[in-house]
Amino acid sequence: MDEKKYGKWQVLAIILMIALLVAAFVLFFSGHYMVGFVLFGVFMLLLNFVSSWKALNNSEYVYLKNHKNNVKW
């Protein structure tokens, strides 16, 4: 994926996560407990997905870097 598109997706995901968290707290404290709870659940699912995806990318990078360094030429 192009770096500019990747950066735009990353910024969009961060803005969406912040908006979900703020909306969940505002709705929860204004008395709409169920809707706030659902939005907080969506926030947690998105956070879990992004963190597990980044952890997989990081471990893959470390493995490939170690493999590349261990190859003798």
Check: CB of residue 46 under 8 Å from CB of residue 16.
Answer: yes
pLDDT value at 64 more than 80:
no
Q: Does the reported pTM lie above 0.85?
A: no
Predicted pLDDT at 73: 56
Q: Write the pLDDT tens digit of every residue in 22-63.
A: 999 999 999 999 999 999 999 999 888 888 777 667 677 776
Q: Which amino acid is at 12?
A: L
Q: What is the DSSP string of the chain?
A: --HHHHHHHHHHHHHHHHHHHHHHHHHHHTT-HHHHHHHHHHHHHHHHHHHHHHHHHHHHHHHHHHHHHH---
Q: How many domains, in total, are found in the chain?
A: 1
**Bigger pLDDT: 8 vs 2:** 8
Look up the domain containing 47 and give its range: 3-70
